[in-house]
Amino acid sequence: MYVGDDYKWDAKVNVQHTTLFSCNAQWTKGKQRHFDAFTASRDEERCQKYHNSCLWSTIWYTRNCVVHDGIVASVPETFIFVETFLKEWDSACLVSCPVTPSELVYWQAPTGSIVKFNFDLAFSSHIRTTTSGVVGRNSSGLIMAACSDFYSHVGDVCIAEDLACKQAVLFARDLGFSSVIIEGDSLTVIKKLNASSFDRSIISPIVYDIKDVVRSFDSISFRFVRRDANNAAHVLAYECQSPTRPSLLD
Protein backbone atom coordinates (compact mmCIF):
# COMPACT_ATOMS: atom_id res chain seq x y z
CA MET A 1 0.00 0.00 0.00
CA TYR A 2 1.04 3.58 -0.64
CA VAL A 3 0.53 6.66 1.50
CA GLY A 4 -3.07 7.77 1.15
CA ASP A 5 -4.37 4.29 0.29
CA ASP A 6 -6.96 2.62 2.48
CA TYR A 7 -7.96 -0.97 3.08
CA LYS A 8 -11.22 -2.51 4.18
CA TRP A 9 -12.58 -5.94 4.96
CA ASP A 10 -15.89 -7.58 5.88
CA ALA A 11 -16.25 -9.80 8.91
CA LYS A 12 -18.65 -10.85 11.66
CA VAL A 13 -18.03 -11.07 15.38
CA ASN A 14 -17.92 -14.66 16.57
CA VAL A 15 -20.30 -16.17 19.14
CA GLN A 16 -17.74 -15.81 21.93
CA HIS A 17 -17.20 -12.12 21.06
CA THR A 18 -13.45 -12.66 20.92
CA THR A 19 -12.90 -11.55 17.31
CA LEU A 20 -9.53 -9.87 16.84
CA PHE A 21 -7.87 -8.28 13.81
CA SER A 22 -4.31 -7.06 14.12
CA CYS A 23 -2.30 -4.86 11.79
CA ASN A 24 1.44 -5.01 11.32
CA ALA A 25 3.07 -2.52 8.96
CA GLN A 26 6.68 -2.26 7.82
CA TRP A 27 8.37 0.48 5.84
CA THR A 28 11.87 1.65 5.00
CA LYS A 29 14.92 0.71 7.06
CA GLY A 30 13.14 -2.13 8.83
CA LYS A 31 10.82 0.12 10.84
CA GLN A 32 7.51 -1.41 11.84
CA ARG A 33 4.41 -0.85 13.96
CA HIS A 34 1.80 -3.24 15.32
CA PHE A 35 -1.67 -2.53 16.73
CA ASP A 36 -5.05 -4.18 17.12
CA ALA A 37 -7.25 -2.84 14.32
CA PHE A 38 -10.41 -4.43 15.73
CA THR A 39 -11.18 -6.16 19.00
CA ALA A 40 -14.75 -7.18 19.74
CA SER A 41 -14.57 -6.13 23.38
CA ARG A 42 -13.49 -2.62 22.44
CA ASP A 43 -15.01 -1.91 19.03
CA GLU A 44 -18.17 -3.99 18.54
CA GLU A 45 -20.51 -1.48 20.19
CA ARG A 46 -18.80 1.48 18.54
CA CYS A 47 -19.11 -0.01 15.06
CA GLN A 48 -22.76 -0.97 15.53
CA LYS A 49 -23.57 2.71 16.03
CA TYR A 50 -22.54 3.28 12.40
CA HIS A 51 -24.87 0.69 10.84
CA ASN A 52 -22.43 -2.16 11.50
CA SER A 53 -19.60 -0.36 9.71
CA CYS A 54 -16.36 0.33 11.53
CA LEU A 55 -15.34 3.86 10.63
CA TRP A 56 -11.67 4.59 11.16
CA SER A 57 -10.71 8.10 12.12
CA THR A 58 -7.29 7.29 10.70
CA ILE A 59 -8.64 7.53 7.17
CA TRP A 60 -10.12 10.94 7.93
CA TYR A 61 -6.91 12.05 9.62
CA THR A 62 -4.76 11.35 6.55
CA ARG A 63 -7.46 12.68 4.22
CA ASN A 64 -7.85 15.94 6.13
CA CYS A 65 -4.09 16.49 6.14
CA VAL A 66 -4.16 16.41 2.34
CA VAL A 67 -7.48 18.19 1.76
CA HIS A 68 -7.17 21.03 4.25
CA ASP A 69 -3.42 21.52 4.71
CA GLY A 70 -1.90 20.14 1.52
CA ILE A 71 0.26 17.80 3.63
CA VAL A 72 0.70 14.05 3.12
CA ALA A 73 1.01 12.42 6.55
CA SER A 74 3.93 10.00 6.84
CA VAL A 75 3.47 6.38 7.88
CA PRO A 76 4.98 6.94 11.37
CA GLU A 77 2.73 9.97 11.93
CA THR A 78 -0.33 7.97 10.93
CA PHE A 79 0.50 5.12 13.31
CA ILE A 80 1.13 7.53 16.17
CA PHE A 81 -2.32 8.96 15.47
CA VAL A 82 -3.82 5.45 15.54
CA GLU A 83 -2.25 4.61 18.89
CA THR A 84 -3.32 7.93 20.41
CA PHE A 85 -6.85 7.53 19.08
CA LEU A 86 -7.22 4.05 20.57
CA LYS A 87 -5.99 5.22 23.96
CA GLU A 88 -8.42 8.15 23.94
CA TRP A 89 -11.27 5.84 22.92
CA ASP A 90 -10.52 3.41 25.73
CA SER A 91 -10.52 6.28 28.22
CA ALA A 92 -13.77 7.70 26.85
CA CYS A 93 -15.51 4.34 27.16
CA LEU A 94 -14.91 4.44 30.91
CA VAL A 95 -16.88 7.67 31.32
CA SER A 96 -20.58 8.13 30.61
CA CYS A 97 -21.55 11.71 29.71
CA PRO A 98 -25.26 11.90 28.85
CA VAL A 99 -26.50 15.14 27.33
CA THR A 100 -29.04 16.88 29.53
CA PRO A 101 -31.67 19.32 28.22
CA SER A 102 -29.76 22.20 29.81
CA GLU A 103 -26.74 21.39 27.62
CA LEU A 104 -28.68 21.61 24.35
CA VAL A 105 -28.08 24.67 22.18
CA TYR A 106 -31.06 26.41 20.62
CA TRP A 107 -31.32 28.73 17.63
CA GLN A 108 -30.82 32.36 18.59
CA ALA A 109 -32.67 35.16 16.76
CA PRO A 110 -30.63 38.02 15.25
CA THR A 111 -31.07 41.60 16.44
CA GLY A 112 -32.57 44.64 14.72
CA SER A 113 -32.96 44.42 10.95
CA ILE A 114 -30.41 41.62 10.54
CA VAL A 115 -31.65 38.42 8.90
CA LYS A 116 -29.98 35.13 9.83
CA PHE A 117 -29.58 32.46 7.15
CA ASN A 118 -28.87 28.93 8.38
CA PHE A 119 -27.51 26.37 5.93
CA ASP A 120 -26.98 22.62 5.97
CA LEU A 121 -26.74 19.72 3.54
CA ALA A 122 -27.69 16.12 2.93
CA PHE A 123 -24.75 14.28 1.33
CA SER A 124 -24.91 10.87 -0.37
CA SER A 125 -21.36 9.65 -0.93
CA HIS A 126 -22.33 6.46 -2.78
CA ILE A 127 -24.15 8.35 -5.55
CA ARG A 128 -22.07 11.53 -5.22
CA THR A 129 -24.98 13.94 -4.76
CA THR A 130 -25.85 16.58 -2.21
CA THR A 131 -28.89 18.69 -1.34
CA SER A 132 -28.61 22.03 0.40
CA GLY A 133 -31.11 23.56 2.78
CA VAL A 134 -31.23 27.28 3.58
CA VAL A 135 -33.61 29.01 6.01
CA GLY A 136 -33.69 32.78 6.59
CA ARG A 137 -35.32 34.19 9.74
CA ASN A 138 -35.66 37.68 11.20
CA SER A 139 -35.33 39.02 14.74
CA SER A 140 -38.81 37.73 15.61
CA GLY A 141 -37.92 34.22 14.50
CA LEU A 142 -40.25 34.43 11.50
CA ILE A 143 -39.14 32.62 8.35
CA MET A 144 -38.51 35.21 5.66
CA ALA A 145 -37.54 32.69 2.96
CA ALA A 146 -36.23 29.17 2.49
CA CYS A 147 -34.77 27.21 -0.38
CA SER A 148 -33.08 23.96 -1.30
CA ASP A 149 -30.89 23.00 -4.23
CA PHE A 150 -29.68 19.69 -5.66
CA TYR A 151 -26.09 19.06 -6.83
CA SER A 152 -24.79 16.02 -8.69
CA HIS A 153 -21.22 14.74 -9.15
CA VAL A 154 -20.08 15.98 -5.74
CA GLY A 155 -17.44 13.59 -4.46
CA ASP A 156 -16.39 15.24 -1.21
CA VAL A 157 -18.44 16.29 1.83
CA CYS A 158 -16.28 19.41 2.33
CA ILE A 159 -17.17 20.60 -1.16
CA ALA A 160 -20.83 19.82 -0.41
CA GLU A 161 -20.71 21.92 2.78
CA ASP A 162 -19.10 24.82 0.93
CA LEU A 163 -21.72 24.66 -1.84
CA ALA A 164 -24.49 24.84 0.76
CA CYS A 165 -22.87 27.91 2.33
CA LYS A 166 -22.47 29.54 -1.08
CA GLN A 167 -26.15 28.87 -1.76
CA ALA A 168 -27.06 30.68 1.48
CA VAL A 169 -24.95 33.73 0.59
CA LEU A 170 -26.30 33.96 -2.97
CA PHE A 171 -29.85 33.45 -1.75
CA ALA A 172 -29.53 36.29 0.77
CA ARG A 173 -28.01 38.59 -1.86
CA ASP A 174 -30.66 37.83 -4.49
CA LEU A 175 -33.43 38.56 -2.00
CA GLY A 176 -31.95 42.01 -1.41
CA PHE A 177 -30.96 41.71 2.26
CA SER A 178 -28.08 44.01 3.15
CA SER A 179 -27.32 42.90 6.74
CA VAL A 180 -27.14 39.17 7.30
CA ILE A 181 -25.62 36.43 9.41
CA ILE A 182 -24.67 33.17 7.69
CA GLU A 183 -24.75 30.33 10.19
CA GLY A 184 -23.97 26.63 9.80
CA ASP A 185 -22.64 23.59 11.64
CA SER A 186 -19.63 23.13 9.35
CA LEU A 187 -16.70 24.40 11.40
CA THR A 188 -14.25 23.88 8.53
CA VAL A 189 -16.19 26.11 6.14
CA ILE A 190 -16.83 28.84 8.73
CA LYS A 191 -13.17 28.95 9.78
CA LYS A 192 -11.96 29.25 6.20
CA LEU A 193 -14.41 32.05 5.44
CA ASN A 194 -13.32 33.98 8.53
CA ALA A 195 -9.61 33.40 7.86
CA SER A 196 -7.49 35.99 6.10
CA SER A 197 -4.66 33.58 5.25
CA PHE A 198 -4.15 31.86 1.90
CA ASP A 199 -6.28 28.74 1.49
CA ARG A 200 -4.69 25.69 -0.15
CA SER A 201 -7.60 23.27 0.26
CA ILE A 202 -9.74 21.71 -2.47
CA ILE A 203 -12.61 24.02 -1.53
CA SER A 204 -10.56 27.18 -2.03
CA PRO A 205 -12.24 28.15 -5.36
CA ILE A 206 -15.67 28.11 -3.70
CA VAL A 207 -14.32 30.00 -0.68
CA TYR A 208 -12.98 32.70 -3.01
CA ASP A 209 -16.35 32.90 -4.80
CA ILE A 210 -18.16 33.39 -1.50
CA LYS A 211 -15.73 36.08 -0.34
CA ASP A 212 -16.24 37.88 -3.62
CA VAL A 213 -20.04 37.94 -3.11
CA VAL A 214 -19.53 39.30 0.43
CA ARG A 215 -18.84 42.72 -1.09
CA SER A 216 -22.53 42.97 -2.01
CA PHE A 217 -23.57 43.32 1.65
CA ASP A 218 -23.41 46.24 4.05
CA SER A 219 -22.87 43.78 6.89
CA ILE A 220 -22.26 40.03 6.85
CA SER A 221 -20.74 37.58 9.32
CA PHE A 222 -20.15 33.84 9.29
CA ARG A 223 -20.85 31.90 12.48
CA PHE A 224 -20.51 28.29 13.55
CA VAL A 225 -23.34 26.68 15.49
CA ARG A 226 -23.98 23.16 16.74
CA ARG A 227 -26.34 20.85 14.86
CA ASP A 228 -29.16 21.13 17.42
CA ALA A 229 -29.29 24.90 16.77
CA ASN A 230 -29.27 24.35 13.01
CA ASN A 231 -32.13 21.90 12.85
CA ALA A 232 -34.43 23.81 10.49
CA ALA A 233 -31.88 23.89 7.66
CA HIS A 234 -30.88 20.30 8.43
CA VAL A 235 -34.46 19.00 8.14
CA LEU A 236 -35.09 20.99 4.96
CA ALA A 237 -32.00 19.55 3.27
CA TYR A 238 -32.91 15.96 4.12
CA GLU A 239 -36.56 16.38 3.17
CA CYS A 240 -35.61 17.73 -0.27
CA GLN A 241 -33.22 14.96 -1.37
CA SER A 242 -34.45 14.69 -4.94
CA PRO A 243 -32.81 15.52 -8.29
CA THR A 244 -35.52 18.05 -9.18
CA ARG A 245 -35.45 21.76 -9.87
CA PRO A 246 -34.44 24.00 -6.93
CA SER A 247 -37.34 24.70 -4.62
CA LEU A 248 -38.07 28.13 -3.14
CA LEU A 249 -40.40 29.20 -0.36
CA ASP A 250 -41.01 32.84 0.49
41: in domain: yes
100: in domain: no
pLDDT value at residue 233 = 95
- The model's pTM: 0.61
pLDDT value at residue 49 = 46
pLDDT value at residue 202 = 80
Q: Are 240 and 135 in contact (CB under 8 A)?
A: no
pLDDT value at residue 51 = 43
80 and 123: one domain? no
Can you tell me the distance from the alpha carbon of 16 to that of 61, in angstroms, rounded to the nearest whole number? 32
Q: Which residues contact 65 (CB under 8 A, 6 or more apart)?
A: 71, 72, 73
40 and 80: one domain? yes
* Residue stretches of the chain with pLDDT short of 70: 1-11, 25-35, 44-103, 242-250
110: in domain: no
81 and 163: one domain? no
pLDDT value at residue 110 = 96
26 and 66: one domain? yes
170 and 242: one domain? yes
167 and 200: one domain? yes
pLDDT value at residue 99 = 52
Domain boundaries, position 47: 20-93
Q: What is the residue type of 49?
A: K
Domain count, the chain: 2
35 and 143: one domain? no
71 and 139: one domain? no
36: in domain: yes
10: in domain: no
Q: What is the DSSP track for 131-157?
A: EEEEEEE-TT--EEEEEEEEEES---H
